[in-house]
């Protein structure tokens, strides 16, 4: 699997902003990707050294719009920690939004 297929997009949330300050970055990843593939993909795409990878499955939530009911899709999330002093440029704009 190619690195661009493993890492789908960064997750933008308040929690991911706080984690980015501690060199931990959150990504939405391919559902079948394992930790080694995620590590290699992040290192190849962003030219950083990954220290730790934590993954979790985000379960679907029920949603309603009027009388129509449905569910959001399930997806996989990865929190990647990089070496101290290294950053991922995608998350650079978040620093001003914390306060």
Distance separating the N- and C-terminal Cα atoms of the chain: 38
CATH code at position 13: 3.30.70.330
- Closest C-alpha to 57, from 73, 37, 39, 77: 77
Residue 66 lies in a domain: no
Residue 99 lies in a domain: no
List, for residues 6-50, the tens digit of each pLDDT value: 999 999 999 998 999 999 999 999 999 999 999 999 999 999 999
Which phi and psi (to 5°) does residue 58 adopt? -90, 120
- Closest C-alpha to 25, from 69, 79, 95: 79
- pTM, to two decimals: 0.85
82: how many CB neighbours lie within 10 A of its CB?
A: 19
Residue 16 lies in a domain: yes
């Amino acid at each position: 699997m190619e690195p661009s297929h493993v890492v789908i997009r960064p997750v933008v949330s308040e929690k991911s902003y706080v984690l980015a300050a501690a060199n931990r970055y959150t990504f939405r990843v391919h559902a079948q990707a394992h930790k080694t593939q995620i590590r290699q993909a992040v290192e190849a795409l962003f030219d950083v050294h990954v220290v730790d990878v934590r993954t979790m499955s985000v379960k679907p939530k029920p949603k309603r719009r009027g009388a129509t009911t449905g569910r959001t899709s399930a997806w996989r999330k990865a929190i990647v920690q990089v070496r101290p002093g290294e950053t991922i440029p995608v998350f650079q704009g978040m620093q001003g939004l914390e306060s």
